[in-house]
Structure 1
Amino acid sequence: MLIHPQFDPVAIQIGPVAIHWYGLMYLIGFGLVWLAGSARIRAGQTVLSRKDLEDLIFYCVFGVVLGGRLGYTLFYQPSYYLSHPLEILYVWTGGMSFHGGLIGVLVAIALFARSRQRRFLEVGDFLAPLIPLGLMVGRLGNFINGELWGRPSDVPWAMVFPQVDATARHPSQLYEMALEGIVLFALLWWFTRRPRPVGQASALFLIGYGVFRFGVEYTREPDQFLGLLSAGLSMGQWLSIPMIAAGIVLFLFSSRHPARQN
């Protein structure tokens, strides 16, 4: 049985200025996206330029933060935030939704594509292999903060999170880091190494993330204020189902068109 290290949530303290691990993970995540995106540009896998990449990341920063926060308030605790609307702005207290962040990124892609006169799916296909890098470090941030812990378990690598209780649990944050981050990145990076029909990379991301998230949710402790919903599924699972369905439909639809570079 392992014990969570209980990291200090503050990564860097310089006088009165404190940089928290979770905020640092966001910076690292966007940095990795920039590095990987630059590599795709150098390899000639996109018509986008380095300036386009930087602008796209700028758009996505706002999409992730605004969408993630609004998604959390609407999907997970709408009644609470309706009663305390100002607390929607308190992003430093935690509470971000991946599915809300995804919607925010989709809006950001749409705005960027329109400003550059590019097709929405072409931009989405370029970005799809890069997103898992951000997810990877984001889940690492969850683990460092000791949040989003797993359900009780007796597996050899089960971990006690002292801030919760003395029960050994799945380190579900690390499962998500591995599957939604490392494995999904490797899959999409390999898939996009040769020309594919427009929309297929985006579709594979939706399917891959949805399937991995749906599976890992069986090891993740449901939010106390929600518990399990209909059919014994968590909110994360219910939100992943339409992702998987949309990905399958998009993949099949895009297969009708010839392959081309993103």
Structure 2
Amino acid sequence: MLTVLSSIQWGIDPELFHIGGFGLRYYTLCFMLAFFLSYVILLSIFKREGKSQELLDKLTIYVFIGTVLGARLGHCLFYEFDYYKDHLLEMILPIRTVNGTLTFTGYQGLASHGGAIGIIVALILYCRKTKVNFWWIADRLVIVAALSGALIRTGNFFNSEIIGKPSQLPWSVVFTHVDNIPRHPAQLYESMGYLVIFIILFNLYKKSKFQKPAFLFGFFMVTVFGLRFLMEFVKENQESFESAMTLNMGQILSIPFIAIGFYFMFKSNNASGIAQKK
């Protein structure tokens, strides 16, 4: 039998503070910190390689919109399609029909796979507008994307969401806002994994032999979504329909990203396969 006494009790209020009708959540803070640190790191990379800050400012706008829209639509289409197919407007607006009444809920439900697709689409549009080479941007953006993933999963931990399966390990966590069952701190597993991937990517970027176009992008896809695939084995399913599936939705969606990553890692070794222009 699982014992609560040997586990870490986690019941922190998800809101850092609340004033009137406004409350700042730790998750929001982590999300904002992810974009701030990404901007600072990319600014140093842009300056190092002779790119203007104006280009980075435009990129930030495109990526922010692509991330939010992609993650939101990804959740609605991949995880709650049965509901949102009849409530299309609620995919975009932060509202939901509750007992026949429209209620403000905020964007409760963001999917990382949808966010990844949204970012790729945003990059394509950005590169068409600015004439910057897609792979030059993609290979550098994935460095900070891994760091952002680490911070967002930390935010999920503060929210007591995306919880792990029951565990008897000494570092298991009881999310008291959810139940009294000791569980894997799956959010922290993922966060630490993404942080390691960020460090590896940043160091690979500094080495000329890994500067082949699309290599870092491919490496990111393989490692990040490979980690995501493995972590799903210690996480509770996000939606009830996943219980009847051999692989859950997160794993199924990760497979094509991993395959794409391997493809570009190998293709990057062909000097004539992917041209890079700065």
Give TM-score, length-normalised by structure 1.
0.92
* Aligned equivalent of 1:204: 219
Q: Bigger CA drift: 47-56 or 204-213?
A: 47-56
> What displacement does 1:122 show?
1.5
| 2:265 corresponding residue in structure 1 | 251
Post-superposition Cα deviations, 1:164-214, rounded to whole Å, max 9, x if no partner, equal 22211100000010112x111011101111231111111111011111111
Question: Which residue pairs with 1:94 in the alignment?
Answer: 108
Q: How does 1:33-48 map to 2 (within 5 A)?
A: 33-42=38-47, 44=48, 46-48=49-51
Letter in 2 for 1:67: G
Is contact 1:229-1:235 (8 Å) kept? no
Greater displacement, 160-169 / 73-82:
160-169
Q: Which amino acid aligns with 2:203?
A: W
What's the CA shift for 1:48?
A: 2.8
Matching residue of 2:86 = 83
What one-letter code is carried by the residue in structure 2 that aligns with 1:193? Answer: K
Task: Give the length in aligned residue pairs.
Answer: 258
Contact 1:56 1:112 survives alignment (8 Å): yes
Q: Which residue of 2 aligns with 1:215?
A: 230
Residue 194 of structure 1 corresponds to 207
* Structure 1 counterpart of 2:56: 53
Which whole-Å CA distance do the structure 2 matches of 1:197 and 1:159 have between them? 42
CA distance in 2, matches of 1:68, 1:60: 12
Q: CA deviation at 1:4?
A: 4.0
The amino acid that maps onto 1:83 is: D
Question: Could you tell me which of 61, 65, 68 is aligned with 1:65?
Answer: 68
In the TM superposition, what are the counterparts of 1:1-262 in structure 2 within 5 Å?
A: 1-42=6-47, 44=48, 46-88=49-91, 89-90=93-94, 92-180=106-194, 182-195=195-208, 196-228=211-243, 230=245, 232-257=246-271
Q: Which residue type is aligned with residue 254 of structure 1?
A: S
2:175 maps to amino acid: F
Q: Which has the larger radius of gyration?
A: 2
* C-alpha separation in 1, matches of 2:247 and 2:239: 14
Letter in 1 for 2:72: R
Q: In structure 2, what residue type is equivalent to 1:143?
A: F
- In 2, the alpha carbon distance for the partners of 1:4 and 1:235 equals 29
Distance in 2, matches of 1:111 and 1:86, equals 24
Q: 2:135 touches 2:276 (CA, 8 Å); kept in 1?
A: no
5+ residue gaps, structure 2, are 1-5, 95-104
SS of the residue corresponding to residue 83 of structure 1 reads: coil
Q: Distance in 2 between matches of 1:107 and 1:143?
A: 29
Contact 1:3 1:162 (8 Å CA) reproduced: no
CA contact (8 A) 1:210 1:243 kept: yes
> Counterparts of 1:197 and 1:105 in 2: how far apart (Å)?
21
Partner AA of 1:5 in structure 2: W
The offset of 1:260, in angstroms, is 7.5
Q: Deviations over 1:66-105 (max 9, x none)?
A: 0000000001110111233343222625100000001110
SS at match of 2:106: helix
Q: Secondary structure of 1:92's match?
A: coil
In angstroms, what is the RMSD of aligned CA positions?
Answer: 2.0
Residue 229 of structure 1, CA deviation: 5.4
Is the contact between residue 68 and residue 102 of structure 1 (CA under 8 Å) also seen in structure 2? yes
Structure 2 contact 70–119 (Cα < 8 Å) conserved: yes
Q: Distance in 2 between the 1:93 and 1:244 partners? A: 27
Going from structure 1 to structure 2, the CA distance change for 1:78 and 1:117 (only over 3 Å counts) comes to: same
